[in-house]
Structure 1
């Protein structure tokens, strides 16, 4: 046996720099409230010398990120919500 459930989602989106931060408040029909948060947008990248991970500069170039294409590193970073 299943029962129909409903929820109301109130969404707030804020653009800061190159990211869109999404906050959802989810009101469930049983009285509970859930909160979801996420980020989307343009990846923070930097140019590097390495074209592949076999290049001599690759180890240093990828110290703070991941080589995502020739000469482009996606930088390691965090999104912290308070």
Structure 2
């Protein structure tokens, strides 16, 4: 049996928590408390639409950071 070195679990745990925050901002109660309104307009978009786009982009950027922190062993 080949034994690999133990890799730190903190990047996975931190990424899971980050995605949890992003998900909570897009569903009730996060969306109802902060994102459920039309005004003000952000770049010509209603605030609710800009809120959703912003959190999806934040999750994508978090995924890029996680991918950069993951070692080559984690990438397959």
TM-score normalised to the size of structure 1?
A: 0.28
Larger Rg: 1
Between Structure 1 and Structure 2, which shows a larger proportion of helix residues? 2
Larger RCO, structure (CA 8 Å, separation 6 or more)? 2
Between Structure 1 and Structure 2, which shows a larger proportion of strand residues? 1
TM-score normalised to the size of structure 2?
A: 0.29
